[in-house]
Chain A
Amino acid sequence: MKVLVPVKRVVDANVKVRVKGDGSGVELANVKMAMNPFDEIAVEEAIRLKDAGKVEEIIVVSIGPAQAQETLRTALAMGADRAILVKTDETAEPLGVAKVLKGVVDAEKPGLVILGKQAIDDDANQTGQMLAALLGWAQGTFASKVEINGDKAKVTREVDGGLQTIDLKMPAIVTVDLRLNQPRYASLPNIMKAKKKPLDEKSAADFGADLKPRLKVVKTEEPGGRKAGVKVKDVAELVSSLKSAGVI
């Protein structure tokens, strides 16, 4: 079975994000970028499935600018077999990305698509679900455990009330949550070797899709700063101020 892992290049999780002066988005010039951490977990899961003999080939795909190649190289260094870069300078939006991914799925025919539940830049949490809808495939979102048995995928999902386990008939879409696994570091020799693994460059049109913006960003602003608290004399005052705030 082939598995397809879409990965997104996002602002590194350790970078303090700043809003652009005109509010049209966040500052990306000279900012350190990295693979979306949830996608890293998805790549790791695919490698573990391959190590366990459930998967023959791991294809990673990224939709983004030329530099998204670096993100794909990281996935190749971790253990993916080949990569596809769908190059675009447009801002990648969930529906556009899902349509391109549908094209990639039609071309590659994977038995499973594993991806992050959301990207940490726009936190949309839509791409996996939209892709499942476009393909008409089963989906298991927010996975904290994935087991493959024959043509069934047993997925444990992190839901509000606890954990929910579902059986999916494959082919299927799985979006992964934080606790699924701890991604490995690509070893330095594998980083060197990844340079020689195949990386195809394509356009959205190659997959019969387009990435034209479908959304309009009205405004981007920084979260409000923390406001000063109130000092209380004693427990009695604390309780009464909590009561008057309607918290207890």
Chain B
Amino acid sequence: MIRDSQLLDQLVTTVRRFVRERLIPAEPGVEQENAIPGAIIDEMRDLGLFGLTIPEAYGGLGLTMEEEVMVALELGYTSPAFRSVIGTNNGIGSQGIIADGTDEQKQYWLPRLARGEVIGSFALTEPDVGSDAAAIKTAARRQGKNYILNGTKRFITNAPIADVFTLMARTGGEGASGITAFLVPRNSPGLSLGKIDEKMGQRGTRTCDVILEDCVVPADAIIGGVEGQGFKTAMKVLNRGRLHIAAVCVGAAQRLCDESVSYARERKQFGKAIGEHQLVQAMLAESGTECFAGRCMVIEAARRMDSGARIIQEAASCKLYCSEMVGRVADRAVQIHGGSGYMRDSAVEHFYRDVRLFRLYEGTSQIQQIIIAREMLNA
């Protein structure tokens, strides 16, 4: 649902300009330094990018899903690392509080997250637990007015810069119903960070382990105040995020198409631009078509979500298709660029590595398939 098309057009145009004028020129530096310059993070904060999805009552923009998707399509057009900085505050780092938080938790955290004053992060994955999220081992033991947390969380996005974690820990017995979501501030006693992960791609996005050794948090740190609701909270958070990630994939696919087209126009072989060779055209056509298909499905699913429909299947389909699609598009983009596409100074080279992650995080492709089939069979 788009509440005001003229207004949304202005928002999207502003983000598009910012991406093209400020972020894309900064891509090579981010690749080199494996960090996003502080000045750019400040600009993103000034632009209001941290509060896209946080309700207006808490100082955010309160974008509807369709509006958020339109913005995510633009943000996906540059290195995923930039999107990742604001990604947790707009997604997994804030949505748990928005969905299930108490009034006090919302009042305290959401305005700060919207302004980008604090960075939120989401800690579910563990060394032994990935897709089987209901099997987490991190334990939370009640002690008077506090909980004592013990365990390790792995590959936690933005952990090195995070101020607060939405962290899943076990307060009860085995399975999903024993899991509770806690809001754990970075400065909690007993919380430490591991060394920064060396990843294949998405350089500039910082992830690391979050280690809890008798980490003390007050009882009112439980999201919603009730034990055993954490798994439900986590699933709500991941559900909404799937459409956002799918839109980011489409944005990246669009960039890869545009890079491919401009290379195919410039590069000459056998006496003419390679874009005039039909086998290159075939690759462009496949990529252009798949990119368009992804765009259509993401927007359609977002509209259904805004209308209040159950879109678990559609969201999983979007995440599955778009993340796999951008992988194919990136592969063709490197193929069209030939040897130059394999070189470090080529944009398609880092996108080829960057987009691989989209098939893995926030639910692997295989998990999405299971969700889709389950929804179909149970309908």
- Once the chains bind, are A195 and B4 in contact (CB under 8 Å)? yes
Size category of the B interface is 20 to 34
| Segment among B42-50, B94-102, B271-279 that sits at the interface with chain A | B42-50
Complex Cα spacing A74 to B7, Å: 10
**Contacting residues, chain B, for A190 (C-beta < 8 A):** 48
| Residue interface bits A134-176, CB-to-B below 8 A is 1, else 0 | 0000000000000000000000000000000000000000000
- Once the chains bind, are A188 and B47 in contact (CB under 8 Å)? yes
With an 8 A cutoff between CB atoms, is B17 at the interface? yes
- Once the chains bind, are A73 and B14 in contact (CB under 8 Å)? no
Q: Which of A70-114 contact B (CB under 8 A)?
A: 70, 73-74, 77
Residue of A73, A77, A187, A190 with most partner-chain B CB within 10 A = A187
With an 8 A cutoff between CB atoms, is A191 at the interface? yes
| Residue interface bits B47-79, CB-to-A below 8 A is 1, else 0 | 111011000100101000000000000000000
Q: Which of A9-52 contact B (CB under 8 A)?
A: 34
- Once the chains bind, are A189 and B51 in contact (CB under 8 Å)? yes
Nearest A residue to B63, CB-CB: A188
- Once the chains bind, are A74 and B10 in contact (CB under 8 Å)? yes
Chain A nearest CB, measured from B39 CB (Å):
13
**Contacting residues, chain B, for A192 (C-beta < 8 A):** 7, 11, 56, 61
With an 8 A cutoff between CB atoms, is B342 at the interface? no
- Once the chains bind, are B48 and A73 in contact (CB under 8 Å)? no
**Contacting residues, chain B, for A195 (C-beta < 8 A):** 4, 7
**Contacting residues, chain B, for A69 (C-beta < 8 A):** 6
User: What does DSSP make chain A's interface, helix, strand, loop or mixed?
Assistant: helix
Chain A nearest CB, measured from B280 CB (Å):
23
- Once the chains bind, are B10 and A189 in contact (CB under 8 Å)? no
- Once the chains bind, are B49 and A188 in contact (CB under 8 Å)? yes
Q: Which of B1-36 contact A (CB under 8 A)?
A: 4, 6-7, 9-11, 13-15, 17-18
Complex Cα spacing A14 to B51, Å: 29
Chain A nearest CB, measured from B212 CB (Å):
36
- Once the chains bind, are A186 and B14 in contact (CB under 8 Å)? yes
- Once the chains bind, are A189 and B6 in contact (CB under 8 Å)? no
**Contacting residues, chain B, for A191 (C-beta < 8 A):** 7, 10-11, 14
**Contacting residues, chain A, for B14 (C-beta < 8 A):** 185-186, 188, 191
Chain B nearest CB, measured from A52 CB (Å):
19
Complex Cα spacing A185 to B40, Å: 13
> What is B's interface to A at a CB cutoff of 8 Å?
4, 6-7, 9-11, 13-15, 17-18, 43, 46-49, 51-52, 56, 59, 61
Q: Which 10 A-B pairs have the closest CB atoms?
A: A188-B48, A189-B48, A187-B48, A191-B10, A187-B47, A188-B11, A191-B11, A185-B18, A188-B61, A185-B14
6 A/B residue pairs, CB under 8 Å, sorted by A: A187-B46, A188-B14, A188-B48, A189-B61, A191-B14, A192-B7
> What is A's interface to B at a CB cutoff of 8 Å?
34, 69-70, 73-74, 77, 185-192, 195
Other than the given A70-B6, A77-B10, 11 more pairs (CB < 8 A) read A69-B6, A73-B10, A185-B18, A186-B10, A186-B14, A187-B48, A188-B15, A188-B48, A188-B49, A188-B52, A191-B14
